[in-house]
């Protein structure tokens, strides 16, 4: 292959930049797109492999390459293309400018890296693993040589799926007489050494080995003899990092030693919470789960950005006159848009790009600068600074469109992030338009069934649901689900995410039995694929509990919510927002079952925790206080209930606004308390205020507005004003009948 210097008439090899047991890596030019890429040429199979094995290997290679190509995250090397040429399997990847961690250590004379850099690298690698593990992908060969630190400070993991190919082909050496597949023994988990079951926790162990080495300058088990290294992994407790280097923070030492636990179950449960722990170690003043800023308080100090964003700016605001076309919890699939090829990595043909004038190839420096600013926007989003992130992505999108064209994958990646920030800042209609534009562009250039095109369509469905357009959302979800099942299979994490979204939407359409059955099936599948305590599994279990409650099956809902709360506490921590949300729903279920004293105790505990974590005026703290007041009323402690409702309604009005739905709910609770205390005239005034506000916000025939008018009629009846009460009851009945007729 080196003699021809050209692969498939497209990739011209320029110089070899790496060689290893798996083959060679070349700097090359993609002559079709005029850009530099890296081409990894895998070693030809030896004579010991027959034709049948070669066929199996080629299919395995295609499958693994597709897996790698489908990974779209800022911390994972992008695979552009793959194939076979003259009997040699090859991968085309983005060309990374930087050094791998092994090279960085060598250039530093094997001295450890600066602590600040170690923490930054740890956080970025952990974040990338959280994504890949969420896709059901385990690396299996994480080591310093497979982690790149780019010149702009970004960190990327390389060679997903390739290590397993090496095992199949027999490239890796083996210890004599042991039968143990040898990758790099310094970074192998105990279960890999023993030939046991390997899952995402093996990657976490390997990450612990990498972090130990870059933080101290030596691996955790530093022996010349490979067998001694393996025995160390299996039987020996590593020395604390601070015995090598005293300035390492205690919190980071604890993290690394947790990662190096021998039994997988003793390691951190997943990389998602690990990332939060590392972030807290890097920024000691920041809580593991940063609370949202209360509108009543001053602006919070800006969190420190990762070191690799230093010197980056948000650029100029986009000046394009076109309207920015612009989804959330578990229901979103946040692509980072580092895909930069027009070749379908799933094996399809190159699709035509929309017609337009031929554009000059942009300078590589401009492409690199825009990629860095794109990454900075992603970092701002991770910190919850969505307005700023939106400004960055809009500017980058405009510049990428000018330099690369409107349908270039990089431009569409920026548009996708613009849409995501719009949805995060409550601009659903704008987000819907932008996601629609991205979906159309990706379908034109990548094909309708490409994972990125499906991701954009799925986000349009989510935003449709956010806008209350559930029937339209259902149609889009069903279409995307069919495509995902056809192209990825029923148990792929992206397929399961789409099925979860569809179950969620079914409940909003009132199809509660269908929603429950689908959510139940998805929860079982996610538990099987991702693990019983994976955050995605628990989100679906939460949806199962919600459906059970809507169906009136409150005992089952209570049990499920309790299981979710306990699992989230173990996996995410007791103070994580998702854990606290599940505890809130436990209280709702207790109240529905008449266990008001137990619910009251739970809500008071939740108020204390919310106040400690998020502050006394945070909306979620006030929601928990509302639960306290409701259950005081259920226990007939009406004086206390009224006092609590009045204080919460005043705080909500100040924090959320006078017409916010939560504020109006608290005002109604005040009116209920006044009625039970016999103060019907005061109750009537408050109910009328709530009814008028709800009609203004929701419309006169909205269920909440009608309920408030019904409350008003009840007060009139209690005050002996029977004729007014009857007339109002009739008006409410007529509006309900009209709403029912129009809703069919």
Which residues belong to the active site? Answer: 141
H/E element holding 681?
helix 680-698
Cα–Cα dist 311/409, whole Å: 26
Beta strands in 2-159 (DSSP E): 6-7, 11-20, 23-30, 35-42, 79-85, 88-94, 98-100, 147-150, 155-157
Greatest CA separation for the chain: 100
- Tokens in use for 740? 């029912």
Task: Give the strand order in the sheet containing 88-94.
Answer: 6-7, 11-20, 23-30, 35-42, 88-94, 79-85
- Tokens in use for 151? 């010149």
Cα–Cα dist 308/151, whole Å: 9
- Tokens in use for 211? 């972090």
Cα–Cα dist 256/241, whole Å: 8
CA distances (Å), origin 572, targets 76, 500, 528, 565, 566: 24, 21, 19, 10, 10
Contact status, residue 164 vs residue 65, Cβ threshold 8 Å = no
User: How do beta strands 79-85 and 35-42 pair?
Assistant: unpaired
Q: DSSP string spanning 340-382?
A: --SS-TTS-PPPPPPP-PPPPPPPHHHHHHHHHHHHHHHHHHH
- Sign, Cα dihedral of 439, 445, 450, 451: negative
CA triple 550-552-557, angle to 5 deg: 75
Tell me, what DSSP letter sits at residue 145?
Answer: G
Contact status, residue 351 vs residue 447, Cβ threshold 8 Å = yes
- Tokens in use for 416? 């996708």
- Tokens in use for 290? 């940063």
φ/ψ (deg, to 5) at 91: -125, 140
Helix 428-446 and helix 409-424, axial crossing angle in degrees, nearest 10: 160
Cα–Cα dist 243/733, whole Å: 77
Q: Helix or strand or coil: residue 98?
A: strand
Q: Helix or strand or coil: residue 158?
A: coil
State how far Cα 291 lies from the chain centre: 18
């Amino acid at each position: 292959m080196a003699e021809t210097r050209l692969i498939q008439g497209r990739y011209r090899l320029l110089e070899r930049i790496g060689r290893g047991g798996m083959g060679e890596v070349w700097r090359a030019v993609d002559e079709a797109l005029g850009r530099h890429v890296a081409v990894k040429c895998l070693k030809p199979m030896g004579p010991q492999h027959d034709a049948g094995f070669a066929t199996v290997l080629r299919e395995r290679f295609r499958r693994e390459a597709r897996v790698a190509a489908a990974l779209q995250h800022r911390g994972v090397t992008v695979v552009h293309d793959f194939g076979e040429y003259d009997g040699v399997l090859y991968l085309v990847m983005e060309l990374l400018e930087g050094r791998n961690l092994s090279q960085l250590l060598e250039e530093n004379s094997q001295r450890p890296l600066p602590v600040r850099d170690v923490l930054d690298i740890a956080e970025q690698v952990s974040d990338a693993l959280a994504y890949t593990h969420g896709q059901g992908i385990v690396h299996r060969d994480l080591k310093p040589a497979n982690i790149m630190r780019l010149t702009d400070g970004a960190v990327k993991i390389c060679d997903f799926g390739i290590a397993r190919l090496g095992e199949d082909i027999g490239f890796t050496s083996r210890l004599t007489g042991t039968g143990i597949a040898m990758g790099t023994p310094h970074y192998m988990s105990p279960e890999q050494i023993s030939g046991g079951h390997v899952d995402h926790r093996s990657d976490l162990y390997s990450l612990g080995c990498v972090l130990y080495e870059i933080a101290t300058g030596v691996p955790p088990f530093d022996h010349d003899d490979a067998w001694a290294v393996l025995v160390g992994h299996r039987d020996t407790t590593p020395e604390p990092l601070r015995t090598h280097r005293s300035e390492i923070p205690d919190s980071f030492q604890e993290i690394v030693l947790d990662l190096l636990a021998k039994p997988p179950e003793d390691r951190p449960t997943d990389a998602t919470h690990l990332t939060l722990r590392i972030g807290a170690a890097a920024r000691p003043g920041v809580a593991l789960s940063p609370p949202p800023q209360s509108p009543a308080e001053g602006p919070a100090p800006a969190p420190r950005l990762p070191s690799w964003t230093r010197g980056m700016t948000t650029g100029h605001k986009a000046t394009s006159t076109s309207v920015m076309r612009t989804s959330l919890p578990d229901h979103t699939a946040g692509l980072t848009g580092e895909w930069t090829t027009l070749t379908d990595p799933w094996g399809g043909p190159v699709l035509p790009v929309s017609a337009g004038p031929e554009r000059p190839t942009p300078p590589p420096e401009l492409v690199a600068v825009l990629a860095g600013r794109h990454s900075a926007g992603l970092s701002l989003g991770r910190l919850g600074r969505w307005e700023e992130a939106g400004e960055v992505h809009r500017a980058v999108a405009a510049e990428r469109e000018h330099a690369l064209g409107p349908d270039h994958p990089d431009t569409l990646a920026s548009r996708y992030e613009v849409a995501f920030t719009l949805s995060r800042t409550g601009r659903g209609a704008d987000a819907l338009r932008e996601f629609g534009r991205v979906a159309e562009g990706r379908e034109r250039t990548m094909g309708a069934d490409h994972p990125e095109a499906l991701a954009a369509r799925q986000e349009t469905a989510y935003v449709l649901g956010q806008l209350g357009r559930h029937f339209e959302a259902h149609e889009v979800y069903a279409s995307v689900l069919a495509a995902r099942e056809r192209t990825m299979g029923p148990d792929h994490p992206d397929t399961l995410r789409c099925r979860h979204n569809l179950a969620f939407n079914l409940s909003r359409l009132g199809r509660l039995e269908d929603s429950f059955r689908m959510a139940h099936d998805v929860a079982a599948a996610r538990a099987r694929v991702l693990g019983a305590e994976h955050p995605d599994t628990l989100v679906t279990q939460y949806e199962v509990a919600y459906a059970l409650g809507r169906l009136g099956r409150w005992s089952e809902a209570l049990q499920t919510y309790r299981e979710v709360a306990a699992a989230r506490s173990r996996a995410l921590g007791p103070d994580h927002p998702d854990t606290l949300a599940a505890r809130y729903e436990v209280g709702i279920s207790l109240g529905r079952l008449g266990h008001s004293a137990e619910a009251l105790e739970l809500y008071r505990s939740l108020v204390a925790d919310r106040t400690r974590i998020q502050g006394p005026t945070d909306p979620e703290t006030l929601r928990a206080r509302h639960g306290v007041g409701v259950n005081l009323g259920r226990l007939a402690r009406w004086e206390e209930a009224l006092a609590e409702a009045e204080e919460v309604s005043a705080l909500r009005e100040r924090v959320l606004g006078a017409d916010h739905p939560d504020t109006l709910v608290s005002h109604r609770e005040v009116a209920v308390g006044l009625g039970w205390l016999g103060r019907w005239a005061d109750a009537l005034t408050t109910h009328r205020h709530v009814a008028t506000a709800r009609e203004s916000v929701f419309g006169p025939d909205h269920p909440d507005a009608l309920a408030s008018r019904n409350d008003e009629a009840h007060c009139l009846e209690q005050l002996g004003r029977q004729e007014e009460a009857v007339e109002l009851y009739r008006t409410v009945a007529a509006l309900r009948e009209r709403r029912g007729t129009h809703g069919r």
